[in-house]
Chains A and B, each alone.
Chain A
Amino acid sequence: AQKITQTQPGMFVQEKEAVTLDCTYDTSDQSYGLFWYKQPSSGEMIFLIYQGSYDEQNATEGRYSLNFQKARKSANLVISASQLGDSAMYFCAMRVNYGGSQGNLIFGKGTKLSVKP
């Protein structure tokens, strides 16, 4: 069964430091995509970064990078130079392609990141 696991319910980081949010996934499918979303206290879901299962390079978007380790089935999010505005819930999600039911995302339970000044 497809599953996303985020083992850190809450994380603290000092402003300007880097932080890694863990995500492991489970799928038997060879073709899949991994996503990270940010949900601030206002509630909207903000797309951060995407990694395809066949991408050889780790994805990067500004201060966000995805540490993709396919053999370990992990897709950790690294945020460099944390800012106070990074305080939010972070969700890891996976999209698998199988049969005729394709495209929906499977989400983890999230990690609440708090950035300390």
Chain B
Amino acid sequence: NAGVMQNPRHLVRRRGQEARLRCSPMKGHSHVYWYRQLPEEGLKFMVYLQKENIIDESGMPKERFSAEFPKEGPSILRIQQVVRGDSAAYFCASSRGRDYEQYFGPGTRLTVT
């Protein structure tokens, strides 16, 4: 499968725990975007990364959320001390560059209990 891969597909965390969401972009893609989808809503941009660089994090909450895209390995979205309001679907998209189509992964559905 040459598509964007995300894991886990479903993640359950208790309040206060940490959530780590992984995204492996399509082959040949070096640009990664993270989006969050709350129930009954469209997707909201969170952060845009290239290898080893955060290009735009204007959509990221200021606290508890961080993202990275290391030289080797997948992009990681980390949510520390999760709260119920973090329950959502988190999508990763990748592209060849800023001006190209973004292809989405299947999403990670985070449930905070």
Which residues of A are in contact with B by a Cβ distance under 8 Å?
A: 4, 33, 35, 37, 43-47, 50, 91, 93, 97, 100-110
Contacts and interface: CB of A to CB of B under 8 A. Distances in A.
B42 A107 contact: yes
Interface of B: 31, 33, 35, 40-45, 48, 55-56, 58-59, 89, 91, 93, 95, 98-99, 101-107, 109
Contacts of B40: 109
B95 A103 contact: yes
Given A35-B101, A45-B104, A109 B33 contact: no
A54 B110 CA distance: 39
B42 A47 contact: no
A91 B43 contact: yes
A106 B41 CA distance: 12
A45 B107 CA distance: 8
Given A105-B45, A107-B42, A43 B107 contact: yes
A4 B42 CA distance: 10
B43 A107 contact: yes
